[in-house]
Amino acid sequence: MSILFPLLHSTYWCNFRYWAALLALSSFASITEAAPSGASFDETLRLAVERAPMLNARQSQTQAAREEAVRAAALPDPRLTFGLDNWPVTGAQAFDWRAEDMTMKRIGLMQEFPARAKRQARQAMADRGIEQAEALSTAEQLAVRQVAAGAWIALWAAEREQEVLTSQREQSALAIRLAEARLASGVGTAAEALAVQAAGLDLENRIDAARAEVEAARGTLARWLGADPMEVGTVGAPPDLATLPVDAVTLLALVDRQGPLLPWRSREAVAEAELALAAAEKRPDWRLAASYGQRDRSRSDLLMLEISVDLPLFAANRQDRGIAARRAERDAVAASHEEARRMQVEAVHRALAEWNGLKRQVARKEQELLPLAHDRTQAAIAGYGGGGALQPWLDARRDEIELHIEHTRHIAELGRTWAWLAYLLPVTETMP
């Protein structure tokens, strides 16, 4: 190996323009690959929840439901009435309000009193509306955490892929120097030198592709942070992707408390409240009205009191139809809830299977395959430097690069699956 160093030195100066171009490319890459100011995993999730527009919308919807609940059981506003009774409109004294002794000016007040059962049912439905708004808000918060966590891990994995590929430049440059030295000494061939340079250019293409994936991942994460993609990055390491906050058995046991199913319980409660309100429609409302009539001074003023009561005499074709419709809607919601529950159980089983499979693959690559691929590449480049064939190094290096790319993408997939499982339950459910 010591004989090769003078040759390598002379070959380097003979290819000054190539190395100048490579240095310029490296300088450009170092500028474009400069990591922007980023945030840790936990900080990213906190910011995503704080800045999510949909969560602000859910909070406003919850506040609206609370405001509606305050007035749900209130009495209707009273009515103030004015009138002119017994006013002649025909004959010689038409439209003369003094011509008729019975003509009087009237002012009155009327109050409607809905049935107590109706008011209670309306209040119950308003309360269920608050619960539904809160459930939707909790489910939305969990969904934001899931996608923000997956986006952060995807960006972290893409950055690692770019770093790993960039670190391969040193060995690629060494192979180019060896090929040119062998060519200059007459041991190697021009085909070998060209093959090594082509491998170096292929590496640059892969680095460019990895850089594009990083930029795309930044854009995805920036969407959840409401930030400029150029200001988005990762700081620190992700959580332990091989461990879930809640074990699989508990996760399946608490499937009804998971985010996608949280709104269904409140939807069923709202459907029950609507059925109770429909049943309360059979209870009659009543009204109280009082009015004071002023007549000509020669006549006494009059006071009128009136009580009116609704008569639901045709319930079979009116109220009963409404009750039947609300009952059918409640049954439809219950059936849809069961279907959603089955789908969620299936999704959790699939995600757990995928997570366990990816976890084993990632661990096997980190502990066995990647070290073997690295050792194989090092042995191949050493053999080539000692006069061996070039093809073993080309094959080993290609396999190692592809294994690194596959590994980082498996990490991203593992992270997305982990995030989906880790944030299925509200925080209070995952705390010990």
Please indicate, yes or no, if residue 186 is contained in any of the structural domains. Answer: yes
Q: How confident is the model at residue 421 (pLDDT cuts 50, 70, 90)?
A: very high
Phi, psi of 78 (to 5 degrees): -65, 160
Please indicate, yes or no, if residue 98 is contained in any of the structural domains. Answer: no
Supply the CATH number for residue 322's domain. 1.20.1600.10
Residues 252-275 have a mean pLDDT of 93
Kindly provide the b/e burial profile for residues 372-383, where b requires at least 16 CB atoms within 10 angstroms of the residue's own CB.
Answer: ebeebbeebbee
Q: How confident is the model at residue 148 (pLDDT cuts 50, 70, 90)?
A: very high
Q: Measure the CA–CA gap between 363 and 407, rounded to whole angstroms.
A: 10
Q: What is the pLDDT of residues 22-80, one digit of tens each?
A: 333 333 333 333 334 578 999 999 999 999 899 889 899 899 999 888 888 888 889 99
Contact between residue 248 and residue 77 where contact means Cβ atoms under 8 Å apart: no
Residues 202-210 have a mean pLDDT of 93
Burial class of residue 278 in the structure, from the number of CB atoms within 10 Å of its CB (0-12 exposed, 13-18 middle, 19+ buried): buried
Tokens of 431: 């705390």
Domain count, the chain: 1
**How would DSSP label each residue in 88-101?**
--SSTTTT-TTS-T
Contact between residue 422 and residue 149 where contact means Cβ atoms under 8 Å apart: yes
Please indicate, yes or no, if residue 420 is contained in any of the structural domains. Answer: yes
**Nearest C-alpha neighbor of 277 from the set 109, 129, 425, 60:** 129
Please indicate, yes or no, if residue 81 is contained in any of the structural domains. Answer: no
Q: Measure the CA–CA gap between 110 and 127, rounded to whole angstroms.
A: 29
Please indicate, yes or no, if residue 83 is contained in any of the structural domains. Answer: no
Please indicate, yes or no, if residue 124 is contained in any of the structural domains. Answer: yes
Q: Write the CA distances from 291 to 79, 286, 288, integer angstroms.
A: 11, 17, 10
**How would DSSP label each residue in 116-178?**
HHHHHHHHHHHHHHHHHHHHHHHHHHHHHHHHHHHHHHHHHHHHHHHHHHHHTHHHHHHHHHH
Could you tell me the strand order of the sheet in which 286-294 lies?
A: 79-85, 104-113, 286-294, 302-309
Q: Which domain holds residue 138?
A: 4-73+117-282+316-430
Structural element, H or E, at residue 355: helix 319-364
Phi, psi of 279 (to 5 degrees): -65, -35
- What's the chain's average pLDDT? 85
* pLDDT value, residue 414: 95
Please indicate, yes or no, if residue 426 is contained in any of the structural domains. Answer: yes
Residues 344-367 have a mean pLDDT of 95
Q: Measure the CA–CA gap between 154 and 364, rounded to whole angstroms.
A: 20
Task: Say if residue 15's pLDDT is above 70.
Answer: no
Q: How confident is the model at residue 13 (pLDDT cuts 50, 70, 90)?
A: very low
Q: Measure the CA–CA gap between 311 and 428, rounded to whole angstroms.
A: 51
DSSP code of 428?
H
Place of tokens 């007040």: 109
Task: Say if residue 4's pLDDT is above 60.
Answer: no
* pLDDT value, residue 430: 54
Task: Say if residue 199's pLDDT is above 60.
Answer: yes
Q: What is the pLDDT of residues 267-324, one digit of tens each?
A: 999 999 999 999 998 889 899 999 998 887 678 888 999 999 988 888 888 888 999 9
Please indicate, yes or no, if residue 264 is contained in any of the structural domains. Answer: yes
Task: Say if residue 381's pLDDT is above 70.
Answer: yes
